[in-house]
Amino acid sequence: MLFFRNDYGQGCIPEILALLEQANQVSCNGYGQDDYCEQASALIQSKMPDTEVDVHFVMSGTLTNQTILKHILRSFEAVISPDTGHIATHETGAIEATGHKVVIVPNSAGKLNAAMIRKTYNGHMLQYEHMVYPKAVYISNATELGTVYTRKELEEIRAVCDELDLYLMMDGARIGSALMSGVDYTLNDIAKWCDIFSIGGTKNGALFGEAVCISNPLLKPYFRFVMKQNGAMLAKGWLLGLQFIGLFQKDAFYKVAAHENKLAQQLQSHAMELGYPLFMKSDTNLVFLVVTPAELEYLRARVDFEIWDYWNDDIVIRFVTSFHTTPEEVEYLGVYLEEAKEKEPD
């Protein structure tokens, strides 16, 4: 059976596996205070020469988001998120469990824009201390729908955050795919625009791990205290450092993302040629197709994928490419898509 369910269903890229083999007999300090984490932090910092960032390594995306927001928000403060945002949908109320409200805003192709942020903030100011105080803005890049923010959109969001004194947080679980989608900005720009953001390893060829990058000097102190309190400080932290050495030492991070995007875009184009409607046109490694019940049954007997949503009587399915996906697998999936169309009753 073909596997297109997610981009973290296999192990890791060879570069990381080789590092793990080499490091297996090495003794390291604990809790991220080791030579590997130091080297990984320096490699990440080298991609952002214009901004001095603090880098911390956390195991998972949900734990990363929860730890960040617990750190930067006071008890009465809240975070603004699109309704498709990971913190609003797929984290089992992890943010609310810390006592912070997620103020949900209808998305525009998976995104927020400056006007939405200003309207939401102003609405909460009408009742002031009788409502939570929006203090942070959460965006994902790439978004959960595979779309990517443009330079103009990010600059406008940064401007409204400056105007309203809001922190800008970017969930970068798929930031590699975003950066390799043809945008005209880099990690160096993101470090300037965001107060705090993450670089995803889990969905970009690592075994696990996210790198938290803190740009705003006001947010740098005491982050490790919150990590420890939140269960986000790994005793064998050197394992996380190794992931990011493997990703950034020879730029495998970017090569993996480019590979994922290329295959997904080929798949998306072929599906459109066959007449499959798109739930959302993706720029990255996520492909969302609308299929009939008959097409769904034919495909899921041959392909492992996720049902994402429902569209009237039809079903939205999601295909995801990974570092492990091959051109041959995409070609086979294309054949199955053709066959599913051919077997559809007239």
Mean pLDDT of 200-225: 98
- The Cα–Cα gap between 69 and 103 comes to 13
Rounded CA separation 223/67 (Å): 9
Q: How far apart are CA 90 and CA 185, in angstroms?
A: 28
The DSSP bridge partners found for residue 287 are 319
Banded model confidence at residue 346, pLDDT cuts 50, 70, 90: low
Q: How far apart are CA 312 and CA 29, in angstroms?
A: 56
Other CB atoms within a 10 A radius of the CB of residue 105 amount to: 20
pLDDT attached to residue 118: 98
pLDDT, mean of residues 297-320: 96
Give strand ranges (E) for 226-277.
none
pLDDT of residue 342: 85
Give the SS3 label for residue 325.
coil
User: What is the reported pLDDT for 343?
Assistant: 76
- What is the pTM (predicted TM-score) of this model? 0.96
Is residue 67 a contact partner of residue 171, using CB atoms and an 8 Å limit?
Answer: no
Q: Round to whole Å and give the CA distance between 121 and 101.
A: 14
Mention the CATH class of domain 14-251: alpha beta
How large a percentage of the chain has pLDDT more than 90?
97
Give the Cα separation of 9 and 203 in Å (integer).
9
What band does 344 get if pLDDT is binned at 50, 70 and 90? low
- Here the tokens at position 253 are 């991070």
Instruction: Please say whether the beta carbons of 137 and 162 come within 8 A.
Output: no
Is the CB of residue 225 less than 8 Å from the CB of residue 245? no
Q: How far apart are CA 258 and CA 276, in angstroms?
A: 24
Q: Which of 21-30, 168-177, 317-326 comes out lowest in average pLDDT?
A: 21-30
* Over residues 222-246, mean pLDDT: 97
Residue 287: pLDDT band (50, 70, 90) is: very high
For 124-182, the pLDDT digits (tens) are 999 889 999 999 999 999 999 999 999 999 999 999 999 999 999 999 999 999 999 99
Q: Break the chain into its structural domains and give their ranges.
A: 2-6+253-342, 14-251
Asked if pLDDT for residue 117 goes beyond 80, the answer is yes
- Name the DSSP letter for residue 129: G
- What is the CATH architecture assignment of 2-6+253-342? Alpha-Beta Complex (3.90)
Return the sign of the alpha-carbon dihedral for residues 41, 46, 52, 53: negative
Averaged pLDDT, 78-102: 96
